[in-house]
Amino acid sequence: MRIAVTGKAGQVVTSLLERGVAAGHEVIALGRPELDLVDPASVVCALEAAAPDVIVSAAAYTAVDKAESESDLAYAVNGAGAGAVAQAAKARGMPLIHVSTDYVFDGTLDRPYVESDATGPTGVYGASKLAGEQAVLAVHGDNSAILRVAWVYSPFGANFVKTMLRLAGDRDEVSVVADQLGNPTSALEIADAILLVATNLVADSNPALRGVFHMTASGEASWADFAEAIFAGSAARGGPTAQVKRVTTADYPTTVKRPANSRLDCGLIAKVHGVALPYWRQSLDSVIARLQPTAN
Ligand SMILES: NC(=O)c1ccc[n+]([C@@H]2O[C@H](COP(=O)([O-])OP(=O)(O)OC[C@H]3O[C@@H](n4cnc5c(N)ncnc54)[C@H](OP(=O)(O)O)[C@@H]3O)[C@@H](O)[C@H]2O)c1
């Protein structure tokens, strides 16, 4: 398959390049300056030139707190930009995989969210990503799969795992929120799953394969659980470690309120695409192994 993905150095983009090429696919990463999501003409031009079999829309404005003061830019990239990618996919008559987020929900439910649950983003980032989903569905809904992922980490870019390992290098104790639950998900596993979904979309026009899907690692954790697992994995390899001080959301105020419950039910994608991501601790271990190789 020839796969075009938006973005160049993002976690999901870099993971898709690694896993896609390893699986024998041709993966073309299209980012700034040739493809800038705020410039629809550049989006059309870059995707036309790439002439892929499938497009993966993975680039996004991802600065959750900063989005509050840069809402025009967040909406231009995540809303209108996502729509421009969908237009280009429609014009070429090719399937689109659009990556979205758990932040489309407000996190007040007491069970994992299913795709049909009401959305209700608590900030500009989530609202702009929801606008992107709506644009994709309006423009090219009959040939798109929207994959909502969450709590993404990887050996690449900036993420919670790398932040925790850095903090463990210079302090003995780290305060981490223990009353928000989610599904820590490796971008490398997301990439593998995107390849499966892409293969299905290219091979089969069945409408059941299109639409909105939740796609995270299996198993759940709080941020504090996640941090403890990171430190345990690092310590086991002789790397930096720290104690986790379990705190509440109220102890750790952020510009945008994070959902207390970010858990996503991934039953639908398992059923229709045959995609089930591994247990989060298993994937975490392999990412830590890459970030923190043993000394000997
Ligand atoms: N990270 C998470 O925890 C998380 C959670 C849920 C959902 N998601 C979603 O998952 C997807 C991938 O996230 P990620 O963690 O891989 O993101 P990331 O590491 O922050 O990377 C974002 C990518 O988007 C590109 N980008 C930003 N603005 C752009 C523009 N105007 N034109 C073209 N490219 C632009 C960046 O390009 P540069 O390299 O040039 O900056 C970068 O390659 C996103 O859709 C995000 O909303 C992420």
Does the residue 50 lie in any domain? yes
pLDDT confidence of residue 296:
43
Residues 6+ apart with CB under 8 A from 52: 2, 3, 4, 28, 94
Give the residue, by CA position, lying nearest to ligand 1 atom 40.
Answer: 32
Extract the tokens encoding 249.
């959301």
Does the residue 40 lie in any domain? yes
Total number of domains constituting the chain: 1
Q: Mean pLDDT throughout 48-73? A: 97
**Mean pLDDT of all residues in the chain?**
96
Q: Does residue 252 carry a catalytic annotation? A: no
**For residue 294, pLDDT beyond 70:** no
Say which of 75, 125, 252, 279 is annotated catalytic.
Answer: 125
pLDDT confidence of residue 106:
97
Q: Residues lining ligand 1, CB < 6 A?
A: 6-13, 31-32, 35-38, 58-62, 77, 99, 101-102, 129, 149-152, 157, 187
Residue type at position 63: A
Does the residue 243 lie in any domain? no
Angle at 123 between CA 116 and CA 222, to 5 degrees: 70
CA–centroid distance, residue 63 to ligand 1 (Å): 9
Does the residue 137 lie in any domain? yes
Does the residue 180 lie in any domain? no
Q: What is the pTM of this model?
A: 0.97
Does the residue 194 lie in any domain? yes
Residue-number span of the structural domain to which 200 is assigned: 2-159+185-217+263-279
The domain that contains 93 carries what CATH number?
A: 3.40.50.720
Q: What are the pLDDT digits (tens) for 184-234?
A: 999 999 999 999 999 999 999 999 999 999 999 999 999 999 999 999 999
User: Measured between alpha carbons, how far is residue 202 from residues 6, 195, 197 in Å?
Assistant: 18, 11, 9
Does the residue 234 lie in any domain? no
Q: Mean pLDDT throughout 81-101? A: 97
Give, as one character, the DSSP assignment of residue 10. S
Does the residue 120 lie in any domain? yes
